[in-house]
């Protein structure tokens, strides 16, 4: 078991070259990243943590380092890379450094396959090692330099336990007949492309806290203020909630604050702008029926087919006991409705499912898309036993 919270900070050219030599001969490494997203609108990686043989390396991309030196490590089939929530880290590393990946595993996805009660790294460390990790630096500012000792120790512990946890999980997945499924999913994670930040301009006003308790006029005000917040957050490169948090927006709208009161809360410039926004709504009130759909251009026939595929998805979830996030999303289902595949080969070209899922879910999905009976095709799926 790796419990060493000591670390080696890599922030110069020579140290980087030495650590790459060490990593190049590894069979297995544990990897994590720390990003600026809690503070900035456009997130960037501020640290890359790698544990090898009990040594915790903390690589600082904000130092004058050649980060391309790590590409052969991540792209080496012979070196296993252990992540917790691999898609998040892999996409960020592709975004910032254009890395390619081979041979990764993900302890978060594994915890879902194993039917664990919770999936956080803190939970897994406590579950397998009876150790509670500190959460004090969870929302730390990783862009600031120099980083203090507590931040670096916290970062080091994010990878210190991953190898031992994966060793135990691998055995459990093997015993449960789930290892092949897990490995197939890990392979798919390496192939996912980073598509860049969404720039559609859509504001998820319908996800605003307690939005159903607002009147339709108040919802319009919330929507308009969220637009203002989003634009300012982009301009300042600040996380939206740091520009204007949800509690303040709720107070302004629900208490029907006047201009002077809003200015006291937000300052003269922002207060005057928000007050003007409320006085001059951008559109009609937002009723419950205005909540965004998967796609506002959906036809009645497509809505009916989507409901039918929801039933297919629900049956898979019920049969296996898997988390809903492990099955196709509404957006993916709608894509399949509009471009129906005729066989497994065509379904595979969408890159929505791992090879294991293509083989085990694919045939029933094809039948469901055609509105043909498929229940017998999911009868033999392996149920996931919930851990006590």
CATH label of the domain that carries residue 62: 3.30.420.10
CATH code of residue 236 = 1.10.150
Is 74 part of a structural domain of the chain? yes
- The helix-helix angle for 179-191 and 86-97 (nearest 10°) equals 20
Asked whether residue 146 falls in the same domain as residue 280, the answer is no
Per DSSP, helices labelled H in 198-329 are 216-236, 240-243, 246-254, 259-266, 268-279, 300-320
Asked whether residue 166 falls in the same domain as residue 305, the answer is no
- The helix-helix angle for 246-254 and 216-236 (nearest 10°) equals 140
Q: How far is it, in rounded angstroms, from Cα 177 to Cα 181?
A: 8
Asked whether residue 152 falls in the same domain as residue 222, the answer is no
Asked whether residue 21 falls in the same domain as residue 161, the answer is yes
Is 388 part of a structural domain of the chain? no
Asked whether residue 308 falls in the same domain as residue 211, the answer is no
Q: How far is it, in rounded angstroms, from Cα 166 to Cα 51?
A: 13
Asked whether residue 42 falls in the same domain as residue 174, the answer is yes
Q: What is the pTM of this model?
A: 0.91
| Kind plus residue range of the DSSP H or E element containing 16 | helix 13-24
Asked whether residue 307 falls in the same domain as residue 238, the answer is no
Domain enclosing residue 368, as ranges: 300-377
Domain-ending residue, one of 290, 315, 330: 290
Asked whether residue 82 falls in the same domain as residue 47, the answer is yes
Q: 3-class SS at 50?
A: strand
As a residue count, the chain comes to 388
Is 295 part of a structural domain of the chain? no
Domain-ending residue, one of 290, 320, 347: 290
Is 3 part of a structural domain of the chain? no
Count of domains forming the chain? 3
Is 104 part of a structural domain of the chain? yes
Domain-ending residue, one of 267, 290, 313: 290
Asked whether residue 20 falls in the same domain as residue 60, the answer is yes
Asked whether residue 248 falls in the same domain as residue 329, the answer is no
Q: Look up residue 13 and give its two tokens.
A: 């050219």
Q: How far is it, in rounded angstroms, from Cα 119 to Cα 339?
A: 34
Residue-wise pLDDT tens for the chain (388 aa)?
345 568 999 999 999 999 999 999 999 999 999 999 999 999 999 999 999 999 999 999 999 999 999 999 999 999 999 999 999 999 999 999 999 999 999 999 999 999 999 999 999 999 999 999 988 888 899 999 999 999 999 999 999 999 999 999 999 999 999 999 999 999 999 987 776 654 445 788 999 999 999 999 999 999 999 999 999 999 999 999 999 999 999 999 999 999 999 999 999 999 999 999 999 999 999 998 888 877 778 899 999 999 999 999 999 999 999 988 899 999 999 999 999 999 999 999 999 999 999 999 999 999 999 999 999 999 989 898 887 6
Instruction: List pLDDT tens digits, range 97-127.
Output: 999 999 999 999 999 999 999 999 999 999 9
Asked whether residue 17 falls in the same domain as residue 128, the answer is yes
Q: Look up residue 189 and give its two tokens.
A: 């994670």
Is 199 part of a structural domain of the chain? no
Asked whether residue 80 falls in the same domain as residue 131, the answer is yes
Detail the DSSP E strand segments found in the chain: 8-10, 28-35, 45-52, 55-59, 80-83, 104-106
């Amino acid at each position: 078991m790796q419990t060493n919270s000591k670390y080696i900070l890599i922030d110069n050219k020579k140290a980087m070259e030495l650590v790459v030599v060490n990593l190049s001969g590894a069979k297995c490494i544990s990897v994590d990243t720390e990003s600026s997203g809690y503070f900035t609108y456009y997130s960037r990686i501020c640290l890359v943590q790698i544990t090898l043989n009990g040594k915790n390396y903390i690589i600082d991309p904000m130092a004058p380092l050649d980060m391309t030196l790590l590409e052969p490590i991540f792209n080496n089939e012979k070196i296993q890379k252990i992540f917790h929530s691999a898609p998040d880290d892999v996409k960020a590393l592709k975004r910032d450094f254009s890395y390619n990946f081979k041979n990764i595993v993900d302890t978060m996805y594994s915890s879902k396959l194993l039917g664990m009660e919770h999936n956080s790294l803190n939970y897994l460390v406590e579950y397998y090692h009876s150790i509670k990790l500190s959460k004090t630096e969870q929302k730390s500012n990783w862009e600031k330099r120099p980083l203090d000792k507590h931040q670096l120790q916290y970062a080091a512990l994010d990878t210190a336990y991953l190898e031992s946890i994966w060793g135990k999980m691998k055995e459990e997945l093997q015993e449960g007949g789930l290892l092949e499924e897990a490995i197939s999913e890990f392979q798919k994670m390496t192939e996912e492309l980073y598509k860049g930040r969404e720039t559609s301009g859509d504001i998820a006003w319908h996800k605003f806290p307690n939005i159903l308790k607002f009147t339709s006029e108040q919802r319009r005000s919330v929507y308009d203020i969220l637009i203002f917040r989003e634009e300012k957050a982009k301009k300042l490169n600040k996380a939206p909630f740091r520009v204007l948090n949800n509690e303040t927006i709720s107070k302004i709208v629900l208490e029907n604050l006047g201009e002077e009161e809003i200015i006291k809360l937000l300052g003269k410039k922002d207060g005057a702008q928000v007050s003007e926004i409320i006085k001059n709504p951008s559109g009609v009130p937002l009723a419950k029926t205005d909540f965004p759909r998967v796609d506002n251009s959906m036809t009645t026939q497509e809505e009916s087919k989507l409901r039918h595929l929801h039933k297919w998805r629900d049956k898979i979830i019920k049969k296996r006991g898997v988390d809903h996030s492990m099955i196709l999303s509404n957006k993916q289902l709608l894509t399949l409705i509009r471009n129906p595949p005729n066989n497994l080969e065509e379904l595979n070209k969408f890159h929505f499912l791992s090879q294991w899922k293509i083989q085990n879910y694919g045939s029933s999905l094809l039948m469901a898309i055609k509105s043909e009976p498929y229940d017998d095709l999911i009868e033999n799926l392996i149920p996931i036993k919930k851990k006590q």
